[in-house]
Amino acid sequence: SQKIEQNSEALNIQEGKTATLTCNYTNYSPAYLQWYRQDPGRGPVFLLLIRENEKEKRKERLKVTFDTTLKQSLFHITASQPADSATYLCALFSGYALNFGKGTSLLVTP
């Protein structure tokens, strides 16, 4: 069956450091991979989309890598801030809809 796995353990880091979140998948052959942010009690908000032929994608302090050989994507937040504290979701297309991982909770402390 198709699976999208993200670290279920919460990630706690100090303000100013780089946060790195991991997304691994099985039984997908994605042409695209997406990352979303979800705050408590809210719907997800789109952050970045990366294509299979892109090794890396950047947007401001965010960077995403996509390795289709390893079946893995890494999501980096540089110079992290307390406002970055949220749950980050990895998403892949199943054929007609987006499927999501459980998400990784990030807590950035001052």
Partner 1 sequence: GAVVSQHPSWVICKSGTSVKIECRSLDFQATTMFWYRQFPKQSLMLMATSNEGSKATYEQGVEKDKFLINHASLTLSTLTVTSAHPEDSSFYICSAILRGLIANTEAFFGQGTRLTVV
Question: How many CB atoms sit inside 10 A of residue 87's CB?
Answer: 19
Q: From residue 83, give the alpha-carbon distance in Å to each of 16, 80, 97, 108.
A: 12, 8, 30, 8
49 binds partner 1 (CB under 8 A): yes
Q: Which member of 34, 73, 85, 104 binds partner 1 (CB under 8 A)?
A: 34
Cα dihedral value 52, 56, 58, 61, nearest 10? 130
Query: Any contact of residue 26 with partner 1 (CB under 8 A)?
Result: no
As given in the structure block, the two tokens for residue 41 are 């009690």
Binding residue (CB under 8 A) for partner 1 from 9, 29, 41, 83: 41
Closer by beta carbon to partner 1, 77 or else 91: 91
Binding mask 90-109 for partner 1 (x = CB under 8 A): -x-xx-xxxxxxxx------
H helix count then E strand count, the chain: 0, 11
83 binds partner 1 (CB under 8 A): no
Contact between 53 and partner 1 per CB under 8 A: no
Kindly report the length of the chain.
Answer: 110
Nearer to partner 1, 34 or 80 (CB): 34
